[in-house]
Structure 1
Amino acid sequence: MFYTKVCKILNIQYPIILGGMVWVGKARLVAAVSEAGGLGLLGAGSMTVQDITSETNEIKALTNKPFGVNIPLVRPDAVEIIDAALKCGASVISTSSGNPKVFTPMIHDSGAKVIHVVSSVKFAEKCEQAGVDIIVAEGFEAGGHNGFDEITTMTLTPQVVDAVKTPVVSAGGIADGRGFIAALAMGAQGIQMGTRFMATLESAAHDNVKNAIIQMSDKGTCVTGRTTVGPTRCLKNNITVCIASAE
């Protein structure tokens, strides 16, 4: 029933993708998501080539299912990191924070697929021109780094679906089956979740972080970085509230 174009492209059972999360989305979580029929993505934003090699070796020891690696293109060594991920057996490279046009050919030449995360229709159209296989339309509800335009998931997803022919995955504030069905109703071919997976046993997050996520209310996050590195959705605490109020 839920087998979509995304499943066919990625060779997975369910159109559910683990969002790339630095320090949290490591081998155990990646393997667990892939083994369950989704697509696990290794959060390689801060990893070295050696880190990627070690983590992917562990992933392959835990599952023989497809997995991917998430790499922010703002990294000056992005080409080297992508090359390492491909050599380590990643069947998917998920990119963000940059133009995928330069990198898509080298990824396709290796036989892997390209996913790119966008926060606006304009960037989605550029991704389609670049030849990516799947576009993730990520709304402002998402945890972590967000787009400067602050467009919500429900607003962004259907507009991206209407603007491109490339299969679209919805992300941002999705945490259960209701969000999954809503994404499909908006025309998406699947979903990407990060924060929800952060609270799992396999996640590398500290137990205090997991408990904070579970206990969080509807007003439990704030956005920092609007005047510096870009909007970043965080759990509210004394530090993040202080930073947000100072901007």
Structure 2
Amino acid sequence: MTDVLATRACTLLGCRLPIVQTGMGWVSGANLTAATSAAGGFGILAAVTMDLAQLTRAIGAVKASTDAPFGVNLRPDQPDLDARVRLIADEGVRLASFAGAPSKDTIDRLHDAGILVMPTVGARRHAEKMLGWGVDAVIAQGGEGGGHTGPVPTTLLLPEVVDAVGAEIPVLAAGGFHDGRGLVVALAYGADGVAMGTRFLLSAESRVPDEVKQRYLAARVTDTVVTEALDGAPQRVIRTDLVDRLIRSSAVTRLPRAVRNALAFRRVTGTSVRDLATEGLAMRKSQDLTLAQLAMAANAPMLIKAALVDGDPDVGVLPTGQVTGLIDSTPPVAEILDQIEADARATLARLHG
């Protein structure tokens, strides 16, 4: 009998379970990525918040921990993208994921290097465009998801994307998933698996400080908000006093903070002023951003770092999916995946009568 959990995504990614751990900036380090892949899922290393040397060390750490395949999350407009592509190709990384849409040229360069490409989409037309440019899979993230997200709920977006591109490439469902029942729901919609961020953020291997994890565990499903006050794009975070102040503030008062954070992000990631300007111009051209939006583009990463790395959510922000309100523990990744698989198989058995 065919195992319904052994989907096209498993074949493509080389994993046992159709469960992807997304490349969350400041969160998805080598420890979390290796633990996910070793336990049968597919881990993705967050490279956007690393410089090239840090990424090199992180890839080495993952490979030292497991020989299972894993991916690396990239930004399509990074000035050193060519060097990153060469690095992950030389290191045998299986896949590059993108939160935003990579260009066709970027996709071609990755394919020429033997690397699979999987962007995240929030609309049917985006999935169709990415399919036309040759990507190998897509993550369809509904509005329940954390971080940058769209307005369409997963239950409406997912069947749309599956109907549009699912006959040709695997579709992973994201936004609102944390257990085996959700995995079965995604498969019923025609997806090839799920991609989760918040569930993995709240794991033992996540490098988020324990006291910050407690803030997530205490949140209810109604304690999040989607706002453009951080970087000009809709982003779901836990509602805090700081977030409320940012929402109430005017663009005039937000801009100086954004400029300071952009320069801080440049220092953290080792980006030169020249490269920062080049990257900004590329982003402005590809995403049709105003100069003010460009200045705010690095605002969110530094506010997130303040909470998730420095451990001070009172001066930072906590990106999250609404599913944080359903999670009440931080077990090891292996336990999370084992429980999801057991719950999914029990749900399938129940449906079969």
TM-score by length of 2: 0.66
Residues in 2 aligned to 1:140 and 1:74: alpha-carbon distance in whole angstroms: 24
Match of 2:38 among 35, 38, 57: 35
Residues 198-238 of structure 1: per-residue CA shift (max 9 Å, x gap) = 01110011112211222211112112226843011111211
Q: Gaps spanning 5+ residues in structure 2: where?
A: 251-353
Deviation at 1:185, TM superposition (A): 1.0
- 1:160 paired with 2:161, answer yes
Give the fraction of aligned pairs with identical amino acids, expressed as a percent. Answer: 37
- From 172, 177, 191, the equivalent of 1:174 is 177
* Structure index of larger Rg: 2
Q: Deviations over 1:89-126 (max 9, x none)?
A: 31111123133411122222222211111110111001
Output the CA distance in 1 between the equivalents of 2:231 and 2:40.
38
1:242 matched to which residue of 2?
Answer: 245
CA 1:116–1:209 in 2, change beyond 3 Å: closer, same or farther? Answer: same
Contact 1:223 1:244 in 2 (8 A): no
- Structure showing greater relative contact order (alpha-carbon pairs closer than 8 Å, 6 or more residues apart): 2
Letter in 2 for 1:128: L
Counterpart residue number, 2:141: 138
2:125 corresponds to 1:122 = yes
Residues 155 and 243 of structure 1, relative CA distance in 2, 3 Å threshold: same
Q: Residue 19 in 1 paired to residue 26 in 2?
A: no
Of 210, 214, 219, which aligns to 2:217? 214
**1:16 CA displacement:** 0.4
More helix per residue: 1 or 2? 2
- Tell me, yes or no, if the aligned pair for 1:41 and 1:67 is still in contact at 8 Å: yes
Decide whether the 8 Å contact of 1:73 with 1:96 is kept in 2: no
2:77 and 2:248 mapped to 1: Cα distance?
27
May I ask how many residue pairs the two structures share in their alignment? 245
* Alignment-mate amino acid for residue 67 of structure 1: F
**Aligned residue among 71, 74, 95 for 2:74:** 71
Supply the distance in 2 between the matched residues of 1:173 and 1:71 (Cα, whole angstroms). Answer: 23
Distance 2:185 2:229 in 1: 29
Structure 1 distance, partners of 2:163, 2:83, is 35
**Alpha carbons 2:124, 2:160 under 8 Å: kept:** yes
Which stretch shifts more, 91-100 or 33-42?
A: 91-100
Residue 6 of structure 1 aligns to a residue in which SS?
helix
Q: Secondary structure at the match of 1:117?
A: strand
TM-score between the two structures when normalised by the length of structure 1: 0.94
Amino acid at match of 1:145: H
Distance 1:244 1:177, change over 3 A: farther
| Aligned pair partner of 1:10 in 10, 13, 17 | 13
Tell me the CA shift for residue 133 of structure 1. Answer: 0.7
Where does residue 188 of structure 1 map in the other structure?
191
The CA deviation at 1:245 is: 4.2
Asked whether the equivalents of residues 74 and 97 of structure 1 are also in contact (C-alpha less than 8 Å), the reply is: no
What residue ranges of structure 1 are gaps of 5+ in the alignment?
none
Give the match's secondary structure for 2:111. helix
Give the AA of the match of 2:160.
Q
- SS of structure 1 residue aligned to 2:243: helix
Q: What is the CA–CA distance in structure 1 between the aligned matches of 2:190 and 2:134, rounded to whole Å?
A: 20
CA RMSD of superposed structures (Å): 1.6
Residue pair 2:27, 2:208 contacting (<8 A) in 1 also: yes
Residues 163-213 of structure 1: CA deviation (Å, up to 9, x unaligned): 113211100121111211111111100110001100111001111221122
- Structure 1 residues 245, 156: CA separation in 2 closer, same or farther (over 3 Å shift)? farther
- The amino acid of 2:144's aligned partner reads E
Alpha-carbon distance change, 73 to 212 in structure 1, aligned in 2, over 3 angstroms? same
The 1:26/1:101 distance shift into structure 2, 3 A limit, reads: same
2:201 equivalent in structure 1: 198
